[in-house]
A and B are shown apart, each in its own frame.
Chain A
Amino acid sequence: MRVMSGTQNDKGVVVRRSWQKNLLTFSMVFGPGLIVMEADNDAGAVSTYVQAGAQYGLHLLWILLVLLPICYFVQEMVARLGIATGKGHAAMIYERFGKWWGRFSLFDLLAVNFLTLITEFAAISLALSVLGISPFLSVPVAAIGLIVMVISGSYLRWERTVIALCLLDIVWFILAAKVHPNWAAAARSTLVPGLPPGKITSSLIFLIIAIVGTTIAPWQLFFQQSCVAEKRLRFADLKWARLDTLIGATFTVLVAGAMMLVGDFGYRHGIPFTDPAQLASAMAPLAGELVRKGLLLLMVNAAVLGTTAISLASAWAYGEVQGWEHSLHKKIWEAPGFYAVYIGCVGAAAGIVLIPRVPLQLVIVSVQVFAGIMLPSAIIFLQLLLNDRELLGERWVNRPWNNWINWTIIVVLFALSLLLAAQVMLPKLFN
């Protein structure tokens, strides 16, 4: 194989130019940052962003711009910790904060992840039902496909497949263009913060918190660190891992913006919003069949991406804490516990969705509240670990400006999580 006038021998590729070296190294490191960010645009995120557009037009676009640096700063710390230690986040909490915190973090992660998986399969079931495919066919087929994706015993095969799925989200930009948004108004709403006209309602507060909660989720911390460790990124790869994370964060926020623009079509045409599948069908006579099918299929893609990443985050974390083999490089019989957790999560969530009259709305609300409660505390541990000079030495610890930014993020997230919890538990509080 020849790459960019370089030659590959038994170990590596020889290239002659510095830019070729940089480009090739980046292409080898690229992956975890994009995947963790784009997988976060899962079914719940599609629903939240499209709802934001459908109910409030372009007025909440600016929140995405605010969330971009927050996503990057948090995930950069995770990538740095993964490269420095070569271990996952759950293992680090267990080793540095003891068994209680290790088990508690693991329990919380597994619980919130499992509830999220149910919502992913619910979205697959809903979107494909609208396209005429029975849930009793779509859900088991999706579950089997998701299991086949990981059991090949190759991290790189899984990574390439998932990157391809991430890049399918480019279609969101086509859908956004097809619904002819007011680009000037979109640019203005992105750059100038503001709130929708009228009074601040509890549903608006809930939606703003949901946008924050869906853009930064606890599983992302665990996933990216384990993924970086799995890929065995080296110290010298940090700058490329940072670029990967920045590209991932930017792409994700742009895709989220495109989802809001698609939802905004419903706002402009007075189409009421119940869920993205209903909105897609209601939009079809005005926006065309391509938009309807595109939205539904992208919802399925989002759910598939979310499911594989979240299930892997659970399997990696559980394997790390149990001390089991926990690697996609291993065959299924070499790491049975790790694969059992992945398969168990996917299979059980798919099975629950097929049970008639499961209270899915309660599951969705519980996921948002649980994730909202867990996220700030998860970031606190990340922050403490990134100040652990005994473990990391001076080279890898946070700089003072890192700490200021992160403590600010933690305080804001705590305030939002308290607000969210209060609103769910006491719905009349803001009315």
Chain B
Amino acid sequence: MATMQPSYEVQSFRVIHPLQDAIEKKCSSQGLGPMAITRPVRVSLMLLRGYLIAMTLLLGFYIFGVLR
């Protein structure tokens, strides 16, 4: 853990600012590709896609109508 390393003195702590600390190895998506999702989730996302497109178009038509 890079945050608080016990220093050379007993009962003392070194506190390092995150921006000055060593960079941690994070959870990386490199090489993983798109997330593996189950069929129900895939179908739900397709429905969500349709819903979002429909609502965005509806809002666009509404704005267009008001502006006219």
Contact A234 B24 (CB under 8 A): yes
Which of under 10, 10 to 19, 20 to 34, or 35 or more describes the interface residues of A? 35 or more
Contact A86 B4 (CB under 8 A): no
CA distance A15 to B18 in the complex (A): 17
CA distance A24 to B3 in the complex (A): 11
Contact A86 B26 (CB under 8 A): yes
Residues of B near A104 (CB, < 8 A) are: 49, 52
Q: Taking chain A's interface residues, is the majority helix, strand, or loop, or is none over half, making it mixed?
A: helix
Contact A369 B59 (CB under 8 A): yes
Known: A16-B11, A97-B35. A234 touches B2 (CB 8 A): yes
Interface residues of A in 366-399 (CB under 8 A from B): 366, 369-370, 373-374, 377, 380, 384-385, 388, 390-393, 396
Interface residues of A in 338-390 (CB under 8 A from B): 359, 362, 366, 369-370, 373-374, 377, 380, 384-385, 388, 390
Contact B14 A390 (CB under 8 A): no
Q: Mark B9-29, 1 if CB is under 8 A from A, else 0.
A: 101111111111101101111
Q: Which of B4, B35, B37, B59 contacts A21 (CB 8 A)?
A: B4
Residues of A near B63 (CB, < 8 A) are: 362, 366
Residues of A near B49 (CB, < 8 A) are: 100-101, 104
Residues of B near A29 (CB, < 8 A) are: 18
Contact B3 A236 (CB under 8 A): yes
Q: Mark A194-237, 1 if CB is under 8 A from B, else 0.
A: 00000000000000000000000000000000000001111111
Which of A6-14, A39-47, A263-271 participates in binding chain B?
A6-14
Contact A377 B29 (CB under 8 A): no
Contact A96 B3 (CB under 8 A): no
Contact B15 A21 (CB under 8 A): yes
CA distance A105 to B1 in the complex (A): 35
A285 within 8 A of B: no
Residues of B near A390 (CB, < 8 A) are: 32, 35-36
Contact B19 A393 (CB under 8 A): no
Residues of A near B1 (CB, < 8 A) are: 234-236
Minimum CB–CB distance from B18 to chain A (whole Å) comes to 5
Which chain B residue shows the least CB distance to A372? B55
A28 within 8 A of B: yes
Minimum CB–CB distance from A234 to chain B (whole Å) comes to 5
Contact A362 B67 (CB under 8 A): yes
A431 within 8 A of B: no
Which of B4, B29, B41, B59 is most buried by chain A, counting CB atoms within 10 A of its CB?
A: B29
Known: A28-B18, A231-B18, A384-B35. A14 touches B13 (CB 8 A): yes
Contact B23 A232 (CB under 8 A): yes
Contact B27 A85 (CB under 8 A): yes
CA distance A388 to B15 in the complex (A): 32
Residues of B near A14 (CB, < 8 A) are: 7, 9, 12-15
Minimum CB–CB distance from B30 to chain A (whole Å) comes to 9
Residues of B near A425 (CB, < 8 A) are: 58-59, 62
Contact B48 A13 (CB under 8 A): no
CA distance A85 to B25 in the complex (A): 9
CA distance A232 to B56 in the complex (A): 35
Residues of B near A237 (CB, < 8 A) are: 3, 18
Q: Which of B14, B32, B35 contacts A13 (CB 8 A)?
A: B14
The 3 A-B pairs with the shortest beta carbon distances in the complex, nearest first, are A12-B16, A86-B26, A236-B3
Apart from the given pairs A11-B14, A12-B17, A373-B59, 5 other A-B contacts in the complex at a CB distance below 8 Å: A16-B9, A16-B12, A86-B26, A235-B24, A384-B41
- Chain B residues with CB under 8 Å of chain A are 1-4, 7, 9, 11-21, 23-24, 26-29, 32, 34-37, 41, 45, 48-49, 51-52, 55-56, 58-59, 62-63, 66-67
